[in-house]
């Protein structure tokens, strides 16, 4: 992981952005880490986007009810859970398909 001072990040912002596209960059001030810059591609694989999404009123209650009912079905034996690696493989495949679909729609316009 690359480290850059806040002053260098400011003065060489283009280089800072280029470095962050390759790997996370820790920003320091007075020799202490104060921030980190990650590419949008890397951030997409984390929970960071959810922190910035505006949620509709009632979303938390809806989510809690949805998770609660799913867990109740698992406990009752009417639903099963799939392993995390399988879920991630399926999710990544769906995201790739959606991205490819969006790209083909954009290029046809």
| pLDDT tens digits for range 36-59 | 998 888 887 777 777 777 777 888
pTM, two decimal places? 0.46
Interatomic CA distance for residues 101 and 47, integer angstroms: 24
Please say if the pLDDT value at position 13 is more than 90.
Answer: yes
CATH topology (fold) of 2-44: YefM-like fold (3.40.1620)
Band (pLDDT 50/70/90 cuts) for residue 109 is low
């Amino acid at each position: 992981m690359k480290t850059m001072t806040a002053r260098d990040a400011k003065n060489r912002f283009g280089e800072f952005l280029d470095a962050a596209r390759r790997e996370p960059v820790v920003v320091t001030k007075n020799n202490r880490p104060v921030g980190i810059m990650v590419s949008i591609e890397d951030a997409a694989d984390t929970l960071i986007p959810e922190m910035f999404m505006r949620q509709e009123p009632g979303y938390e209650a809806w989510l809690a009810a949805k998770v609660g009912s799913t867990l109740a079905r698992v406990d009752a034996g009417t639903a099963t859970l799939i392993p995390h690696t399988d879920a991630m493989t399926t999710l990544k495949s769906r995201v790739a398909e959606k991205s490819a679909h969006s790209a083909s729609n954009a290029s046809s316009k």
